[in-house]
Amino acid sequence: MLDYAQARRMMVDCQLRTFDVNDNAVLDVFDSVPRETFVPKSQEPFAYIDQPIRLGTAERDIRVAPAPMVLGRMVQALKIQPGVKALDVGTGYGYSAAVMAQLGADVTALESIPELIAAAKERLAGKAEVVEGRLRDGFPKQGPFDVILVNGRVETRPQALLDQLKDDGRLVCVFGPDRGAKVTVFVRAGDAFGSRPLFDASLPVLADFAQEATFAF
């Protein structure tokens, strides 16, 4: 039987630490949250590989759990402190929500696919509130938020989500076209939003944030 605790330690030491994840609080959380419980049963033995893991059965709006090293850098960029309000967009099975909750955030986990909503509610009971809605709309009822994490690629500027940030709030997502996407952090300053690309990354585009196809003649 696979020793998941050992696999977690190896993930932290060989994936996160070598990819510039150096915040000790973030490293400790990734070493303690059991990622294998936040993936489909058939994928449990692969929970700690350095690849995204497919979640659910939807063909049009594909969901994945980002590779741990990518998610680690994204969470680190949010600079989560205990007591902050966080929105986890496209939560899937709820792993990223569990990570942020373990860091002390008050997490709202947003999902739009019924089978994933059910899976997240089962796994996040007592850790985060799972809500249903269109991802592009965010969840203003619970806002404004200090931090927002988007689990998936965003091709269009997520303005409705940005508008739900508090002043000095931070949003992190994989932003841009497939071959040119980068993990990007957005920061709110009053009515303005600055952005900074952090590193190259590739995830399936979330249907709610896909660029509309155009035709060339």
> In sequence order, what DSSP letters do the residues of 60-124 get, joined into one string?
SS-EEEPPHHHHHHHHHHHT--TT-EEEEET-TTSHHHHHHHHTT-EEEEEE--HHHHHHHHHHH
For the chain, the residue count is 217
pLDDT score of 75: 98
Mean pLDDT by 10 residues, the chain (217 residues): 93 97 98 97 95 87 93 98 98 98 98 96 95 97 97 96 98 94 97 96 94 58
Give the relative orientation of helices 95-102 and 68-78 as an angle to the nearest 10 degrees. Answer: 40
The pLDDT, as a whole number, for residue 216 is 46
What's residue 41's pLDDT? 94
The predicted pLDDT at position 47 comes to 96
To which H or E segment does residue 10 belong? helix 4-11
What's the pLDDT at 213?
A: 56
pLDDT at 54: 95
Given this model, what pLDDT does residue 90 score? 97
